[in-house]
Amino acid sequence: MSWDSTHAWWRALHDVAAEIENRRDGELPWRPEHAAVFGDPGGLIAALRYRWNLTVQAHGEELAGADGEACERELVDANQGVLQVLRASRPREPAAAPAFAAA
């Protein structure tokens, strides 16, 4: 990936994350022009997950420190919209059958 394409990728990811945080509706804002950067909605979800993981790693020492809970709250508050989108994108596991159904 060239510097220009890397810069475009990060700029697009930043713009999408900012839109998600402004809306905070849990919806992935997919547009046709995103396909040139992320491929498909799954690629955008993967990019958002990568960004979140980098954010957590960058705050690792703070999270492990005495004020770790406060740092965690700040990170979650600042990224609430992105976290909603990531939660909504997780594959759903089938509901377990009630215990009495096996009888």
Instruction: Say what the alpha-carbon torsion angle 61, 66, 67, 69 is, to the nearest 10 degrees.
Output: 90
- Which pLDDT score is estimated for 90? 86
Q: Which of 27, 40, 41, 29 is nearest to 88 (CA)?
A: 27
Q: Is the confidence at residue 101, as pLDDT, over 50?
A: no
Span 57-62, average pLDDT: 91
- Which pLDDT score is estimated for 78? 95
- Which pLDDT score is estimated for 56? 93
Is the CB of residue 83 less than 8 Å from the CB of residue 76? yes
> Over the chain, what is the mean pLDDT?
89
- Which pLDDT score is estimated for 92? 62
pTM of the model: 0.83
Q: Which of 88, 89, 62, 90 is nearest to 75 (CA)?
A: 62
Q: Is the confidence at residue 95, as pLDDT, over 60?
A: no
